[in-house]
Amino acid sequence: MKLSKRLKKIEQMVPPNYTHIWDCCCDHGLIGAALLSRQVADNIHFSDIVPELMVALEKKLLRFYPQSTWQVHCLDVAELPLEHYDGKHLIIIAGVGGDLMSQLVETIHQRHQHANIDFLLCPVNHQFTLRQTLIEHDFGLKHEVLIEDNRRFYEIMLVSSTRGDNEKISAVGSKIWQSDSAEQAEIATKYKDKTLSHYRRIQRGSTANIQAVIDGYSAISI
């Protein structure tokens, strides 16, 4: 199947030199399959908690990638058995909200504090919540992009569980607002306006003080 613009961008952001790549909440396994075709890592793992999806996916992988090294895991993403696999790990999580994604990343990080883990994350909402969690655990930023796909906006972040030489993560994003074309500048402007409108609506209907969040996005220069 052809990848959507969002999935294609996620796949393109996967760098080489990982021993194990985990395509989590993988649904039909499109990202992992594209990575198998590109032979970007020694081992590709597919993980989802829905048994029917995993059975169907395994049949497809046996048919189309019989010579490749892959494994299918039917389990909760928070319970990935990373300790059974030596080497450098990349965990891809997409297609879920920032709240759930924050919980998954936090649990994985706590269970494998001494492992060498990078995460490639693309939440469908609550991006600010996810960023706050990453900052709280002192994750480092390797790369981030902003895309528009089918009239929806997506932040995609490649982060490391250790700061090291990586950049500090911004609560509202940094590189996603930098544009190298008029088209990308327009996407960033539309996303900023939409995000500010969202938080201003929340502020009008809630007693929660989110002025600091609004100020953060308002200060962004595009």
The answer to whether the beta carbons of residues 98 and 129 sit under 8 Å apart is: yes
Q: What is the pLDDT of residue 137?
A: 95
Q: How far apart are the first and last CA of the chain?
A: 35
Identify the segments of the chain with pLDDT beneath 50: none
> What three-state secondary structure class fits 202?
helix
Residue 207 has what pLDDT? Answer: 66
What confidence score (pLDDT) does residue 115 get?
Answer: 85
> Which among 89, 15, 6, 18 has a CA at the least distance from the CA of 47?
89
